[in-house]
Amino acid sequence: MPARILLADDDRSIRTVIGRALSQLGHHVRSTSNAEDLWTWVAKGDGDLVITDVVMPGESGLDLILRIKKARPNLPVIVMSAKTTFLTAIEANQRGAYEYLPKPFDLNELIQIVNQAVAEPKTSVAVNKHPVDSEDDLPLIGRSPAMQNVYRILARLTNTDLTVLISGESGTGKELFARTLHDYGKRQGAVFVPVNMAAIPRDLIESELFGHEKGAFTGAISRSVGRFQQANGGTLFLDEIGDMPLEAQTRLLRVLQEGEYTRVGGETPSRTNVRIISATHQNLQELIQDGLFRQDLFYRLNVVPLRLPPLRERIEDIPLLLRYFFKRAAQEGNSPKTLDISATEKLESYDWPGNVRELENLVRRITALYTEELISADIVETELSNGLEKPQNVVSHSKEGLTGSLNKHLKNYFLAHKGSLPATGLYERIIQEVERPLINQTLIATRGNQIKAAELLGINRNTLRKKIKLLDIQIPRGSR
Ligand SMILES: Nc1ncnc2c1ncn2[C@@H]1O[C@H](COP(=O)(O)OP(=O)(O)OP(=O)(O)O)[C@@H](O)[C@H]1O
Ligand SMILES: [Mg+2]
């Protein structure tokens, strides 16, 4: 369907490229270099679609969107911008832009968006009222293409209640992004409740999430409110979701499917009203293959995937982040510092296994330990190797061996109960946790061949079959 397209950009070559491509598709394109023309056309009722740059002589494209949406709420406006921060993306979105494209953009993508906008124009979205702070107060630093992409997805998500799964290496900002999404989203006035699956003893997770009745299990001295209830009306952030035990996964899945939860030991269900954002540094696909994560739950949580790029994939952002963290250190009363060029270069060629957190800690260390104002490459080098912290959540099993890691795990497990004891039936539960990966990995090694697996394990075939059923193990592919 041919459409009348109004195009405004002060860059002539961009007007030519877009104009040509859209005309070839049969659209009628009218273009200008300034905001004034664009407004005149829109006010006259011309055009079925607007494509505009943010920075233009006359008026800011962002202010113009607001006027356009007021005058013609159903006219889709696609906004382009070269100078993008999270702020631009959010602002464009809050003013009702149909789509927001960071420059340089992919022409094919633009065409696709145009076709989509022409075919099914979105009715105007509710404009979000969060006051947008000045750029200095922005929580998210970085302007690399990889981050612009993230901002764009984030901006679009603020008008929705969609379930989001954030993935990314340790220290890439998963929690920060989850909070930002909440702070700028529809539920901004309500609570944000984080729960870290890796920090809660496994058999307490269900009661932590859903609450429990008095006497539901040993140690349940009084009735408790779960996180689902606490987060009511707001956002529930399920951090390190890959660490959730299978039984709790099954329960969570049911809750998400039915929109209702019941306290542990309770009977009357309550309706849930939470937005779910989850995060993981693990590869969930691998966990699914290893039988440690439910695929159906994955699909429920992964409605919108948001991948945070590791720092080494966006070295352009390193100087910005350094400046930001040094400035913050100075504001906290430390003497101001700058890095010399070779020091910055050293940091740009570094691998950053701990990502932004590692960089933040490096800045902290340097501010605390050195008096000089100009920081050299040598200092940076010393401190980089001093800080060789293992990224969090990555446990090295190789050295301590299986018994060693089990010992450590169990010790922490008892400690985590803080004086009280875990629920009874511990032997069976722990043995099952050892059995599950043992059987699962053996099945993977024998490509699902149960006869071979039984042989390898040195147990009876029927016993293996029973265990598989009991432990709810999925037979890996290639099985017979
Ligand atoms: N884009 C960013 N701009 C500014 N600060 C950031 C950015 N990304 C991360 N940080 C900072 O880096 C630190 C680590 O971020 P966060 O805790 O959100 O990471 P994470 O991905 O949840 O890490 P983990 O997997 O270890 O839990 C925080 O102090 C956070 O404020
Ligand atoms: Mg985290």
54-100 tens-digit pLDDT? 877 777 777 888 888 888 988 999 988 876 677 777 777 777 788 88
Ligand 1 pocket by Cβ (under 6 Å):
140-142, 168, 170-176, 281, 356-357, 360, 392-393
Please determine, for residue 162, whether its predicted confidence score (pLDDT) is greater than 80.
yes
The total number of structural domains that make up the chain: 4
Residue 288: pLDDT over 90? yes
Tokens of 130: 């969060």
| Residue 418 covered by a domain | yes
The phi, psi pair for 105, rounded to 5°, reads -110, 170
- Structural domain span for residue 352: 313-386
Residues 317 and 185 in one domain: no
pLDDT band for position 322 (cuts 50, 70, 90): very high
pLDDT at 436 over 80: yes
**Judgement on whether residues 299 and 333 belong to the same structural domain of the protein:** no
CA-nearest residue for atom 9, ligand 1, is 173
- Ranges 78-82, 138-142, 258-262, 283-287: which has the least confidence: 138-142
Query: Domain containing 223 — which CATH number?
Result: 3.40.50.300
Task: Give the torsion sign (CA, 331, 335, 336, 340).
Answer: negative
For ligand 1, atom 26: residue with the closest CA: 170
255-274 average pLDDT score: 91
266 belongs to a structural domain: yes
Radius of gyration of the chain (CA): 27
Residue 479: what pLDDT? 47
Within 8 A by CB and 6+ apart from 103, the residues are 80, 81, 82, 84
Residues 297, 163 share a domain: yes
pLDDT at 35: 87
175 plus 299 within the same structural domain: yes
Mutate to test the pocket of ligand 1, among 87, 165, 172, 277 (most ligand atoms within 8 A of CB): 172
pLDDT at 397: 43
Of 356, 350, 355, 380, residue with least CA distance to 367:
380
- Window from 163-177, 181-195, 251-265, 389-403 with minimum mean pLDDT: 389-403
Q: Is the pLDDT of residue 196 over 90?
A: yes
Give this prediction's pTM: 0.70
Indicate whether 372 pLDDT > 90: no
End position of a domain, from candidates 137, 167, 188: 137
Query: Is the residue at 301 inside a domain?
Result: yes
Domain annotation covers residue 392: no
